[in-house]
């Protein structure tokens, strides 16, 4: 079937807009917890669109944490933490290069304003701050990654973002609570998340 031209789509939407009209500004509820990067992304997008919403605290499952943040829940040797942090900084180094290319000297990945990539990456800044504080390592180092570190500061104080990304302390509390109530040992959690079930860490 041939694709309809854009003008035809517009005509169809105008003709049936009453049928497809949704009350975007009425009774919008977001289910989840603010510690989840996925929830944070939705809330930022709603703010950008100036849509009023209500956050209903619902914990469906424990958040699937990145490997680096699992380190918060495991007693690791300082050398291993340093190695893991170094590997993560290499990834951030690639993002520093991407920011230089995408931002073109402006404040955000999307240019002058917060865009999709800013939201996707910025929603995880709370976990990064938690690891920095909990493990006494520096990930977003302003000397090594000046552009990315500057972007993170601008993102967190942006009007559409301000107050939505919890600080590191909130994640540290969550990490401690989930570790305390789990039936698995922290080492078992780490092995499972990194795919080393039944094996020693490399």
Low-confidence ranges of the chain (pLDDT < 70): 1-26, 60-77, 178-202
- Which residue in this structure is represented by tokens 């990194």? 194
| pLDDT > 70 in the chain, percent | 66
pTM: 0.69
Candidates 120, 88, 108, 115; CA nearest to 148 is: 108
Residue 109 DSSP symbol:
T
pLDDT reported for residue 84: 82
Cα angle: 31, vertex 16, 22; to 5 degrees: 15
The helix or strand, by DSSP H or E, that contains position 63, with its residue range, turns out to be: none
Does residue 126 contact residue 168 with C-beta atoms inside 8 Å?
yes
184: alpha, beta or left? (left if phi > 0; alpha if psi -120 to 50): beta
Rounded to an integer, what distance in angstroms lies between the CA atom of residue 101 and that of residue 158?
21
Looking at the chain, list the stretches that DSSP marks H as alpha helix, in order from N- to C-terminal side. Answer: 6-15, 17-20, 37-48, 67-70, 78-103, 116-122, 125-135, 146-157, 168-181, 186-194
What the chain holds in terms of domains, given with CATH numbers, is: 64-194 (1.20.1050.10)
For 73, residues 6+ apart whose C-beta sits below 8 A from its C-beta are 175, 178, 179, 186, 189, 190
pLDDT tens-digit series, residues 112-157: 999 999 999 999 999 889 888 888 888 998 999 999 999 999 999 9
């Amino acid at each position: 079937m041939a694709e309809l031209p854009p003008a035809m789509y517009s005509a169809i939407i105008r003709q049936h807009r009453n049928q497809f009209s949704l009350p975007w500004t009425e009774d919008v509820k977001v289910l989840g917890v603010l510690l989840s990067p996925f929830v944070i992304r939705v809330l930022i997008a709603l703010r950008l669109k100036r849509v009023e919403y209500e956050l209903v605290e619902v914990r469906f499952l424990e958040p699937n944490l990145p490997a680096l943040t699992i380190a918060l829940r495991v007693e690791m040797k300082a050398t291993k933490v340093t190695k893991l942090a170094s590997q993560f900084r290499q990834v951030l180094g690639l993002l520093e290069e991407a920011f230089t290319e995408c931002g073109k000297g402006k404040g955000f990945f999307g240019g002058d304003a917060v865009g999709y990539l800013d939201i996707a990456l910025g929603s995880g800044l709370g976990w990064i701050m938690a690891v920095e504080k909990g493990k006494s390592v520096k990930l977003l180092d302003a000397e090594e990654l000046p552009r990315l570190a500057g972007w993170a500061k601008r993102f967190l104080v942006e009007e559409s973002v301000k107050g939505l990304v919890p600080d590191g302390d909130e994640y540290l509390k969550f990490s401690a609570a989930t570790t305390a109530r789990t039936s698995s040992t922290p080492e078992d959690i780490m092995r499972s998340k990194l795919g080393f079930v039944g094996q020693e860490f490399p």
